[in-house]
Structure 1
Amino acid sequence: MDSVKDILHRNNLKGTSARIAILNTIISSEAPLSESDIKKRIHEVDRVTFYRSIKSLLDTKIIQGMITQGKIIKYTFCPENQNNETAVQFYCTECQRIADVEIKTQFPVVPQGYKEKTRSITITGICKACNNSSEEEIDGVVI
């Protein structure tokens, strides 16, 4: 994968210390991160710079935000090959990991006169690994 500075440069963003720290934190995480999760991991960025940096990363689609069940926005890295496509993801409420979902159906059409900027769908639930680990088996019956 390209370096964070290369990703920022390719998207016409300066490689500021705040953007580099935020993007490194998001990319290195296995699960989506909330604003407070990111702030806990990087301490050298002031509040205004933090929010401006997040906004610029969202605007250029380097990262994407998703709203979880608790109405908290969590951020993930958006690989370049998904920037122009519809993103459909499954968010596990147990392990908080995201998995890409294969698209086999047609998507809703935006009403006439509306201008679509991005398209993403997040399905929330429990992934296969967490679902299997939460099931108990008694006498060969899964409950």
Structure 2
Amino acid sequence: MESVKEILHRYNLRGTSARVAILNTIISSEAPLSESDIKKRIHEVDRVTFYRSIKNLLETNIIQGIITQGKIIKYAFCTENKNNETSVQFYCTECQRMTDVEIKAQLPVVPQGYTEKTCSITITGICKTCNKSIQK
């Protein structure tokens, strides 16, 4: 896998210490992280720089924001940075892991005159592994 600095460079973002720290933290996590989760793991980034860096990473589709049932935004690394494509993920409310979902159904069509840039759909529920442990 390419380094965090290489990923940032590919999307024409400078490898600032804040961006590198935030992206390293998100990539190294098995589950999406909230802002407070990220802040607990990195202490050297001030509030303004943190939010500016998150905004830059979201705008370039390096990371994505997932709104959980509790209305908390959690951030995950976009493994396949698909610009102008639709991505669908499944978010498990039990283990908080994200899984890419294969798209087989027809997707909504944007109204005439609108220009779609990206579309990200998150399905929230309980994954197969957690369902098995709940049923025991």
The separation in 1 between residues aligned to 2:80 and 2:105, in whole angstroms, is: 23
The separation in 2 between residues aligned to 1:82 and 1:132, in whole angstroms, is: 32
Contact 2:63 2:78 in 1 (8 A): yes
> In percent, how many aligned pairs have the same letter?
82
Aligned Cα RMSD in Å?
Answer: 1.1
SS of 1:14 mapped into structure 2: coil
Match of 1:115 in 2: 115
The separation in 1 between residues aligned to 2:59 and 2:49, in whole angstroms, is: 15
Match of 2:69 in 1: 69
The separation in 2 between residues aligned to 1:26 and 1:83, in whole angstroms, is: 20
- The C-alpha deviation readout for 1:62-88, integer Å capped at 9, x for no partner, is 111111111111111112353442110
For 1:67, the aligned partner's letter is I
Match of 1:57 in 2: 57
Match of 1:133 in 2: 133
Deviation at 1:49? 0.1
- Moved beyond 6 Å, runs of 4+: none
SS of 2:14 mapped into structure 1: coil
Match of 1:99 in 2: 99
TM-score (norm 2): 0.96
The separation in 1 between residues aligned to 2:92 and 2:62, in whole angstroms, is: 22
Structure 1: tracts of 5 or more residues without a match: 137-143
Match of 1:7 in 2: 7
The separation in 1 between residues aligned to 2:134 and 2:15, in whole angstroms, is: 43
Greater Cα offset, 103-112 or 45-54: 103-112
Match of 1:26 in 2: 26
Count of residue pairs brought into register by the alignment = 136
The separation in 2 between residues aligned to 1:69 and 1:79, in whole angstroms, is: 23
Match of 1:48 in 2: 48
Deviation at 1:90? 0.4
* Structure showing greater Rg: 1
Contact 2:65 2:74 in 1 (8 A): yes
Greater Cα offset, 64-73 or 46-55: 64-73
The separation in 2 between residues aligned to 1:83 and 1:118, in whole angstroms, is: 6
SS of 1:91 mapped into structure 2: strand
For 2:71, the aligned partner's letter is K
